[in-house]
Structure 1
Amino acid sequence: MQEMKQIYYNESGTSFFWRKENEILTDKIQLIFRETGFYFSRHELKLFQCCIEESYILNNCCDDCELKSNCHKFLLKTPCSQIDLAVSMDELNSVKDLVEGTLFKINLNDYLYGEGMN
């Protein structure tokens, strides 16, 4: 079994890089949301972030609702044209946090151990 290096996690999922023979494979990110796993390149993860933002703008209508983000499910597009996810607004917020947190940590590490090193 391959080992992993965790990048970010929240209550709905996690993201990590796979390790192979003690080398961290940083070209792809494994993102697990609920029971679904995605294996994205950095570019695909950024595209997913755009899909989430678009969905958030189109479906953010729960402010005055008594059920507050829990009842209605809608389709969230992914960079994989064959796959959409059915999510509630709460789940959308959670996957948004997961993706943004993952990208933030990746960019921070790239800076700290790349161009930010003296």
Structure 2
Amino acid sequence: MKEIKQIYYNDSGTSFYWKKEDEVVSDKVQLIFRETGFYFTKHELQVFNCCIEESIKLNKCCDNCELKIKCHKFLLKTPCSQIDLAVSMEELNSVKDLVDGTLFKINLEDYLFGVGMN
């Protein structure tokens, strides 16, 4: 099995960098959500985050329904134009946490070991 450097995880998935010959390959992030894997650049991950935000805005139509969080499925667009995911609001919130956490950690590391270094 190849080695990885984990970035972030929650109950629905994980994100990590692959390692090749003991070096972290940080130009793309492997994002695993449920049983689906995406291999995104940082820009594609940011686009996916925008898709998630848009889906949350579009699907707030049943806010008062107690079952909405688990029963209804919505299409979530991805940066891959051929791929959409069917997710519940609960899963949508979970993938949002996964992507937000991943971007936060990547941006923090970029700052600490880039611009923030003296």
If the TM-score is normalised by the length of the shorter chain, which range does it land in? Answer: over 0.9
Gaps of 5+ in 2: none
Number of equivalent positions: 118
1:63-118: CA deviation from partner (whole Å, max 9, x where unpaired): 21021411100110000011000000000000000001000000000111111111
Backbone CA RMSD of aligned residues = 0.8
- Structure 1 segments, 4+ long, off by >3 Å, are none
Q: CA deviation at 1:55?
A: 0.3
1:2-28: CA deviation from partner (whole Å, max 9, x where unpaired): 200000000000000000011100000
CA distance in 1, matches of 2:88, 2:79: 19
Gaps of 5+ in 1: none
Q: Percent identity, please.
A: 78
Partner amino acid for 2:99? V
CA distance in 1, matches of 2:104, 2:62: 27
Residue 34 in 1 paired to residue 34 in 2? yes
Residue 85 in 1 paired to residue 66 in 2? no
TM-score (norm: length of structure 1):
0.97
CA distance in 2, matches of 1:16, 1:83: 21
